Amino acid sequence: MRNMAYVNGRFLPLADAKTSVEDRAYQFADGVYEVVKFYGRNAVRLEPHLVRLMESSAHLRIAGGPGLDEWKTIIEQLATENELVDDETNEYILYQQVSRGVAPRNHLFPKDAIEPSVVAYFRKAPVYSREQRETGIALSLQPDERWNRCYIKSVCLLPAVMAKQAAADAGCFEALLVRNGIVTEGSATNTYCVREGIVYTHPTGPHILTGVTRTLVFEAAEKAGVEIREEAVTPDQFAAADEAFISSTTMGIMPATRLDGKPVGKSGKPGPVTRQLAQALDAIVASELRGHEVTAK
C-alpha cells in the first residue's frame, strides 16, 4: 500500500499530512475519531462507525464535518490513493479524526465559525498472534479515571493511555477499568464475563463507549443462542467468572484468561462460550464480506 492521507480536502503523503499547532485537537483534545477495520477495500459496518463519528461531533458541538455520503466518497478515494490490495487477507485500519479546527488558543469555542480539521488515513491492521487468540490475554484492574461522557469517541484519551500503560507495566495486555466498584470496560475495548453460560457486560450510557463490535457481539450471541445481560459486575464477580473476553474493531473477540496474575475460570483457558461467540462473529463478518455489505468499492 501507499501511505496516503486525506487532510481537509486534499490527498497527500502521510509524511506531509500536517495541521497547525493551533489546531484545537492538539491544544485541547477538542476532537473526535474513529477506527474502522478493512478487509481489502471492504469494511464491515462502515456506516455505524461513520454515524458514531458524526454523533460524537454533534455531542461536542463540532459542526461542518463531512456527512455520511461525503465520508464514503473520501474513503473510496483514499482507498484508491493508497492502492489497497483488494483481497480479504490484507487487513487495514482506517483512522478518521475531526477536530473543532484551528483558532488562536482560547478555552471558549471560537466566536466566528471555523472549518473543522478533517483527517483520514489507512494503516496496515495490527496483527494479533495465534498464541494470543489461543491462550487469551491478561487483564489488569485499573481505576477508571475518565470523564462521564465515555459514549463520545473523543481524542481526549490520556486516562485510557495511562491505564493501558499501567496494565502493560504490570505485564498485562489490557486494563480492566473500575469506577465506583464496578467494571466498566477496557482502555480501548469493551469487556465481558461469562457466568453459568450467561454473558455480562456493562450497560450503555455515560461510562462506556458503545462499541460497534459490542453490537456485533450481541448479534453473534443471538445467532448462537447465548444470553447476554447488560448488567454491571464488580471486579470480584469478574474474577470469579467462568470465562472473560474483550472486543474491539481491531481485534474482534479476544479471550481474556488472566486477571491480575490469576486465571479466570477453572482452566485459565478460553472458554466454550467465548469460542462460540468468536465463531459466530467471524461468520457474520465473513457473510458481510461476501457481498452483503460492500463499501469503498
SS3 286: helix
Q: Which of residues 3-42 bind ligand PDD (CB under 6 A)?
A: 35
Q: For residues 96 and 103, which CB has a smaller minimum distance to ligand PDD in the complex?
A: 96
Q: Which of 72, 111, 153, 297 is catalytic?
A: 153
Using CB atoms within 10 Å of the CB of residue 276, give its burial: 0 to 12 exposed, 13 to 18 middle, 19+ buried.
Answer: middle
Minimum CB separation of residue 214 from ligand PDD in Å reads 6
How many chain residues bind ligand PDD (CB under 6 A)? 15
Contact call for residues 277 and 221 (beta carbons, < 8 A): yes
Regarding 201 and contact with ligand PDD (CB under 6 A), the answer is no
Regarding 51 and contact with ligand PDD (CB under 6 A), the answer is no
List the one residue out of 10, 37, 24, 156 whose CA is nearest residue 92: 37
Q: Which of residues 204-223 bind ligand PDD (CB under 6 A)?
A: 209, 211-214
Q: How far is CA 221 from CA 158, 278, 279, in A?
A: 32, 9, 10
Minimum CB separation of residue 238 from ligand PDD in Å reads 16
Regarding 185 and contact with ligand PDD (CB under 6 A), the answer is yes
Using CB atoms within 10 Å of the CB of residue 233, give its burial: 0 to 12 exposed, 13 to 18 middle, 19+ buried.
Answer: buried
Active site residue 153: yes
Residues 55 and 30: their CA atoms lie apart, in Å, by 15
Q: For residues 34 and 242, which CB has a smaller minimum distance to ligand PDD in the complex?
A: 34
| 118 membership: H or E segment, kind and range | strand 117-124
Segment interacting with ligand PDD, rule: CB under 6 A, options 132-140, 221-229, 230-238, 243-251: 243-251
Interface residues toward ligand PDD, by CB under 6 A: 35, 160, 185, 188-190, 209, 211-214, 247-250
Could you give the residue numbers annotated as active site?
153
